[in-house]
Amino acid sequence: MTLPQEYLYFQDVNATVTNQRVIIAGRFYPTANITSVGVTVLPRNNTGGWVMIAVGVLTSLCFLLSFVPDTVREVRTLTGGYFTSLGIIGLVIGLGLIAGGILFMTLRKPKYLLRIGSSYLESDALISPDRGYLEAIAMAINNALPRR
């Protein structure tokens, strides 16, 4: 009995795709068990950006309130009154934190996930910032499936 011929569809450092097997990041997936392949976008975690914005807003509000004159008592606070330059510096720091939080959330690149499904489970095979790379692997797997 002769073994069926194995055709290579894709090969690089992270992935090898043939008509009989798929090896991604050291994990083996027999093509006979693969039912679906897809690339999805991982949701970004923006918690760090929101924390920076919240701290910036609170800092800015605290130092803005230091500029409100105290007409009831003749009390000079550390951040206001005679030390208005500290209030301005605090306000600039707060606005900088707000801008940094916004930049943190907008400049982060999305990550993509290659998912391989079988009849009994769906596996997250590979994560990459390059969508085209994962789609090339997914297309190779889809091309290999009919020739199992």
- Residue 66, pLDDT > 80, answer no
Residues 20 and 65 in one domain: no
Residues 25, 52 within the same domain: no
Token pair of 78, please? 């550390």
126 in the same domain as 143: yes
Q: Would 1 be classed as within a structural domain? A: no
pLDDT higher for 84 or 18? 18
2 assigned to some structural domain: no
**Domain count across the chain:** 2
Residue 115, pLDDT > 70, answer yes
Give just the sign of the alpha carbon dihedral 61, 62, 68, 72: positive
Residues 59 and 79 in one domain: yes
Say if 130 falls within a structural domain: yes
* Pick from 1, 37, 7, 36: nearest CA to 21: 7
Helix axes 47-65, 84-107, angle to 10 degrees: 160
Model confidence, pTM: 0.68
pLDDT digit string, tens, across residues 134-146:
999 999 999 988 8
Place of tokens 């990041």: 25
pLDDT digits (tens, 9 = 90+) for 89-102: 888 889 999 999 99
Assess whether 119 and 95 both reside in one domain.
no
Residue 24 inside a domain? The answer is: yes
pLDDT of 80 higher than 90: no
pLDDT for the residue 2: 66
Largest separation between any pair of C-alpha atoms in the chain: 100
User: What is the distance between the alpha carbons of residues 72 and 122, in angstroms, rounded to a whole number?
Assistant: 67
Residue 54 covered by a domain: yes
Burial of 81 (0-12, 13-18, 19+ CB in 10 A): middle
Is the domain of 131 the same as that of 98? Answer: no
Give the domain extent around 76.
Answer: 47-107
The token duo for 106 is: 């907008």
